[in-house]
Structure 1
Amino acid sequence: MIYIGLSGWGDHDSIYPARLNSKNKLAHYSANFPIVELDSSFYAIPPERNSVKWIKDTPDSFQFIIKAYQGMTGHQRGEIPYESKEEMFDHFKKSIVPYINAGKLAMVLFQFPPWFDCTKDNVAYLRWCREQMGDMPCALEFRHQSWFSPSFLKRTLDFMKKEEWIHSICDEPQAGVGSVPAVLEATSQLKTLVRFHGRNIEGWKKPASGENWREVRYLYRYNKNELTEWKKKLEALQRQTRDIYVIFNNNSGGDAADNGKEMITLLNLNYEGLAPRQLDFFS
């Protein structure tokens, strides 16, 4: 099965009524898409009360892809409020338990930064991360091109298969060592993740000016030809893996929701168990 969803649920105005209360957005989102990427967990590990609400706001079949906390992947924007990596991982794993108990955890996404290159120490850290996560399904996404260089490509994929990492395949700008090609190979027979970051090459790189680069990094709208090309790729991937989770992350201009809907139509997907459409009409 191919599941289509978006990164977060707050920035997709095209699918929400004008007066929709922000507290009800996830419930309305889940009337449109069967999965979501929880990206707020990257910035701070969410308290249990938030997770309980989000689980309650979504139908039984809904699935969450939960992004690993920034300190776990070496981003460390700001102070990390944990005395050790072990404590940090333990705190994060406890925050995932409600999703596991509800049967709503699709996977945890470990997205590593552009400076995380293919070295012996980094391979060892990936192995340690996987050990810490135990039986939880975990996806691995690289941003440094060295992992998929000709000399390391096969070994990278073999390592991911051996350590039971789900491959997070990316469509993103090809902008040098800080970007990776779309390697269309599943490393798990059960699950594969595909993330659409757009193809805005200039926005992908941090400009020298004072421009807020994060607001333009994912500024891109896929056209029908590009989506049709990926339709064929997704159908080919289905021969390698049981379920494919597709996330549109091109949110900067509000294009992700429309592109996600287009892909659902192109693939002729019909999801059962979505939330009712007539949610909170007077909210």
Structure 2
Amino acid sequence: MGEILVGTCSWTDRALVGSGWYPAGRRDPEGRLRYYAEQFPVVEVDATYYALPSARNSRLWAERTPDGFVFDVKAFSLLTGHTTRPASLPDGLPADSRDPAVLDAVWSRFTDALAPLREAGRLGTLLFQFPPWLQPGPRAEEVLADCAARTAGWPVAVEFRHPQWWSGERYDETRAMLRGHGFAAVGVDMRQGLPASVPPVTPVTSPELSVVRFHGRSPAWGTGSKEDRFRHAYTDAELKEWVPRLRALADGTARLHVLFNNCCGTAAVDAAARMRDLLDA
């Protein structure tokens, strides 16, 4: 069985910081990360979706965490086709993902900034969460092929948010495409029965890594505020139903990352700790 690392999708979420989970004396940026890394062996960096990372932060993250700890870094919004604030781009570049010069500059800035993290052995994977409007078809295949060319040699995990990618006959085609690019597939747990619900499938597309992200089961997914969409406290029954699936998934890959994205107060860290205990048992 491959190694299973359980953690959360942020250690800096405002609701977590304000919850009292971090002990007194460890609530500054360095103290928070060092404390989190004592509790869990993996974390997702969500801030890199909203703003390009810096090499300085990458070095600090590496210095403040122990050997074996890894960061899954979420791709910058422009690189996945999401709407991007012009102010978050370097040197006043226009937020136009169709301009090759803009894309080249952003890709270069993104990967250069993460080089210290990668060199220190702290990079778990680059996480590309594509928007719900990226549906299967020739255009999407071009986007993924370009992503593969630009990330050659880097670990990459892909999460699709359009349900057709993993529905019916398309399932095998999607799995084969990701495997061909060397991308790890990201499975998700989320509210089912909504138009945007992605089925909770767990395909193995890379011998090195699989990822499962737990978004919570809020009925406000896709409609409410961020807090509404992710406000969910996992029950023991909901976590236990995933235990055999996660163990089976780990049998097919060298490492499995299990990340909780229900970042409201301590809900994510509580669920991660409980899932870790269930898997250990």
- Same-fold call, TM cutoff 0.5: yes
Q: How does 1:212-223 map to 2 (within 5 A)?
A: 213-223=225-235
- Cα deviation digits, residues 162-220 of structure 1 (max 9, x gap): 1111011100112544231111221111110110000112x20224xxxxx11111100
Q: Which amino acid aligns with 1:111?
A: Q
Fraction of identical pairs, as percent: 34
Contact kept, 8 Å, 1:145 with 1:176, in 2: the verdict is no
| Residue in 1 that maps onto 2:98 | none
- Cα deviation digits, residues 237-280 of structure 1 (max 9, x gap): 122112100100001243000000001111117xxxxxxxxxxx
Q: Is 1:109 aligned to residue 127 of structure 2?
A: yes
**Shift in Å at residue 8 of structure 1?**
1.2
Equivalent of residue 137 in structure 1, options 148, 155, 163: 155
| Residue in 1 that maps onto 2:53 | 46
Q: Is 1:59 aligned to residue 66 of structure 2?
A: yes
Contact kept, 8 Å, 1:14 with 1:257, in 2: the verdict is no
Specify the SS of the correspondent of 2:230.
coil
Q: Which amino acid aligns with 2:199?
A: P
Q: Is 1:17 aligned to residue 23 of structure 2?
A: yes
| Residue in 2 that maps onto 1:205 | 222
Q: How does 1:24-103 map to 2 (within 5 A)?
A: 24-79=31-86, 81=89, 82=93, 83-103=101-121
TM-score by length of 1: 0.89
- Cα deviation digits, residues 20-67 of structure 1 (max 9, x gap): 332210011001000110111000112221121111111121101000
Q: Which amino acid aligns with 1:159?
A: M
CA RMSD of aligned residues (A): 1.5
Specify the SS of the correspondent of 1:136.
coil
Task: Give every structure 1 segment of 4 or more consecutive aligned residues whose post-TM-superposition deviation is greater than 6 Å.
Answer: none
Distance 1:179 1:7 in 2: 20
Contact kept, 8 Å, 1:166 with 1:188, in 2: the verdict is yes
Which of the pair is proportionally richer in helix?
2
Q: Which amino acid aligns with 1:251?
A: C
TM-score by length of 2: 0.89
| Residue in 2 that maps onto 1:189 | 207
Contact kept, 8 Å, 1:217 with 1:252, in 2: the verdict is no
Query: How many residues in Structure 1 have an aligned counterpart in Structure 2?
Result: 263
Structure 2 residues not aligned, in runs of 5+: 94-100
Equivalent of residue 180 in structure 1, options 195, 198, 201: 198
